[in-house]
Amino acid sequence: MSDETIENVVIIGSGPAGWTAAVYAARARLEPLVYEGAPSREMIPGGQLMFTTEVENYPGFAEGIDGQKLMMEMKAQAERFGTRVVTDDIVEVDPSSRPFRLRSAEGKEILARSVIVATGARANWLGLHNEERLAQTGGGVSACAVCDGALPAFRDQVLAVVGGGDSAMEEATYLTKFAREVVIIHRRDTFRASPIMAERALANEKIRVEWNSEVVDVLGDDFITGLRLKDTETGAEREMEAGGLFLAIGHTPNTAFLDGVVELDESGYIVPPNPGRVMTDVEGIFAAGDVMDDYYRQAVTAAGTGCMAALEAERWLAHQVDGAEPATDVPAEPVSAEG
């Protein structure tokens, strides 16, 4: 790639959304270039599924599949159709230039006719050493109850959920299907959750709450066995049994490099101007996956929007080539199903 090369589409990110977009774009002969990101303490290429040891709710795998293997298979499928991959981060996008000018962390300038942002969101963690270690090794620490709660290792266990918002209430209620008991751990003496969500959780006989408490250590070598809690009022510490720990303290979208580029909400998620579509408020820039979804946050929904972003980018690019006026509303002709 020389500095004069103009890419048809640059895909930023390498989770289910990014690789699905790459598969569709490559099969459309757009020769996509994927910047899959560089490994860091918080994220690695492949996204959050790289920290998931077993995925049982992605269609097509009757016996489940290891999260890392799933992402490697998606990457290999994209590369099979000619996708090129660079292990680096995009740190700047100039929306005023056509083609768009992108700059990587290593200082490379990339010119692109269209851009698909699929950088995802990272789960917020407590920042404890054992928490991070056990999360990365499949030791019973997770940031997604819907993804992992049904795994055999968590059946009939005491499961802990950290948080006090609606997400924590949803996760705790969901886990009661599998757990012997669910313990919500909250720093304060009242929840931040909406009244109806809090009431529903508190009314569940399988749920109890450790008020005014914070987790200061995660116990266990290969798999979590318990937690050390500190009373936020007295400072006294105690231990509690736990066969699983689920963090429900929010997610942070990876959009810092897009501040002032496209419209973001107050939490940093990309806001497409047309609900149900993936074009951002800057024509030629599309969003896919968790970077625009603070609600579902599932691999299968991310993959779906990756497909949408590639299809919309293909159509938008075709209109530029044909000399038609660019439009946010892409013509609604039927999309043919490809095998």
Catalytic residues: 144, 147-148
Are 275 and 261 within 8 A, CB to CB? no
> Measured between alpha carbons, how far is 26 from 81 in angstroms, rounded to an integer?
6
Residue 141 tokens, joined: 């620490």
Are 150 and 56 within 8 A, CB to CB? yes
User: 276 CB contacts (<8 Å, ≥6 apart)?
Assistant: none
Which helix (H) or strand (E) is 130 found in, with range? helix 129-136
Candidates 97, 124, 127; CA nearest to 110 is 97
Cα 153 from chain centre: 23
Judging by DSSP bridges, how do beta strands 237-241 and 226-231 pair with one another? antiparallel
**Cα torsion 231, 235, 240, 242: sign:** positive
Q: Phi/psi at 244 (nearest 5 deg)? A: -175, 145
**Cα torsion 83, 88, 89, 94: sign:** negative
Candidates 249, 254, 277; CA nearest to 264 is 254
Give 1-46 as a DSSP string: --TT-EEEEEEE--SHHHHHHHHHHHHTT---EEE-----SS--TT
User: 163 CB contacts (<8 Å, ≥6 apart)?
Assistant: 171, 184, 185, 186, 247, 248, 249, 250
